[in-house]
Amino acid sequence: MERFRKYRTDQKTRDKYSEVSIMTDDLIYPYFIVEGRSVKQEISSLKEVYHLSIDMLLADIEEINNLGINKILIFGVIEKSLKDEMAKMAYAPDNLVSRAVKAIKQKFPELIIITDVCLCGYTDHGHCGLVTGHEIVNDKTLPYLSRMAYTHANAGADFVAPSAMMDGQVNAIRTYLDQHSLKNTGILSYSAKYASNFYGPFREAAQSAPAFGDRRTYQMDFRTIHQSLKEIKTDIEEGADWVMVKPAHTYLDIIQRAKQEFPATQLVAYQVSGEYMMIEAAADSGYLDGDKAMMEALTAIKRAGADKVITYYAKKLAGILIN
Ligand code: PBG
């Protein structure tokens, strides 16, 4: 008889034989920034996640910094009245995200700042690219994503993270940044981003739900496997420094394949809003232990092969790990 139970006799023994763990250094914490002062408003669809004005953002970063979190992802959320068909506020000089980046860099120079680069929070129709009729046009969108990336990089962002799923976006951004002496700014590409039903709560957070249609003409169909590897390969060739698979829980197979196929590139997985809220809602209903389910889910993402995880749980998890 093979004695497997010897690996499980008590906590110490189980710890000794564990092969994978999630650590604070793996975590990337997302923030939703708004204009104004002293704004800290819980997002109704995303428990314990807030719309923060820049002053409140800095106060929150103080907390996560003390917990050892060293990477953040920033989304700008602007007033509806400021959105237009050209997404002008996305790349306006001194825009919301650029000001946030500057303020953070001044106070926390060591923190790694990643900014989301996508037009959906800035277009009046809520699509990730420019629109002609009902078509989301690819090539015409690229210069605007590049300009948006430039404003963030120029403000001091360490990484820009294109999430629009326009073909050629990494190449366009890399070329534009290089031309503007921003050779050292990294690109974290949302390479394999599926058209997922699990983004629901985020669209309220970012106020970016599309006014017509959906995102299935640019985000990936969830019945595909190999396209994700081609998307990742292309992004690496175009100059992506880190690549991403998104969502995470329902795409563990894709994470595993991506890590096997591209072991030399840092792989980031995004545990998205719906994946987070599924656990939270079930925990609130008493169906499961939220903290334990969180730990299991995040460990599974690492076990599949992710090097880093973007998660709304980052602060909570870092708080548990530090004790
Ligand atoms: C923007 C973007 C989305 C998310 C990250 N960047 C939403 C979308 O594509 O509609 C989703 C994140 C989440 O659900 O937590 N394109």
What pLDDT sits at residue 154? Answer: 98
- More confident: 116 or 205: 116
pLDDT tier, 75 (very low <50, low <70, confident <90, very high otherwise): very high
Task: Read off the pLDDT of residues 313-322 as tens digits, 9 standing for 90 and up.
Answer: 999 999 999 9
What pLDDT sits at residue 206? Answer: 87
Task: Read off the pLDDT of residues 168-224 as tens digits, 9 standing for 90 and up.
Answer: 999 999 999 999 999 999 999 999 999 999 999 998 888 889 999 999 999 999 999
Summarize the confidence of residues 36-58 as an average pLDDT: 97
> Tokens representing 24?
């604070």
Task: Read off the pLDDT of residues 4-25 as tens digits, 9 standing for 90 and up.
Answer: 999 999 999 999 999 999 999 9
Whether residue 45 has pLDDT greater than 90: yes
CA-to-CA distance for 33 and 164, rounded, in angstroms? Answer: 19
Summarize the confidence of residues 128-153 as an average pLDDT: 97
One DSSP character per residue, 7-47 reads: GGSSHHHHHHH------GGGEEEEEEE-SSSS-EEEETTEE
What pLDDT sits at residue 210? Answer: 93
Residue whose CB lies within 8 A of the most ligand 1 atoms, among 127, 208, 309, 312, for a mutation test = 208
Whether residue 65 has pLDDT greater than 90: yes
What pLDDT sits at residue 300? Answer: 98
What distances in angstroms separate CA 90 from CA 7, 40, 95, 142, 229, one per listed residue? 53, 22, 7, 13, 29
| Atom number of ligand 1 nearest to Cα 193 | 9
**Beta-strand relationship, 46-52 and 40-43:** antiparallel
Summarize the confidence of residues 269-296 as an average pLDDT: 98
One DSSP character per residue, 31-92 reads: EEE-SSSS-EEEETTEEEEEEE-HHHHHHHHHHHHHHT--EEEEEE---GGG-BTT-HHHHS
Nearest CA to ligand 1 atom 8: 199
Active site residue 246: yes
CA-to-CA distance for 268 and 305, rounded, in angstroms? Answer: 9
Summarize the confidence of residues 281-306 as an average pLDDT: 98
Whether residue 281 has pLDDT greater than 90: yes
What pLDDT sits at residue 203? Answer: 87
Summarize the confidence of residues 70-75 as an average pLDDT: 98
Residue whose CB lies within 8 A of the most ligand 1 atoms, among 165, 202, 276, for a mutation test = 202
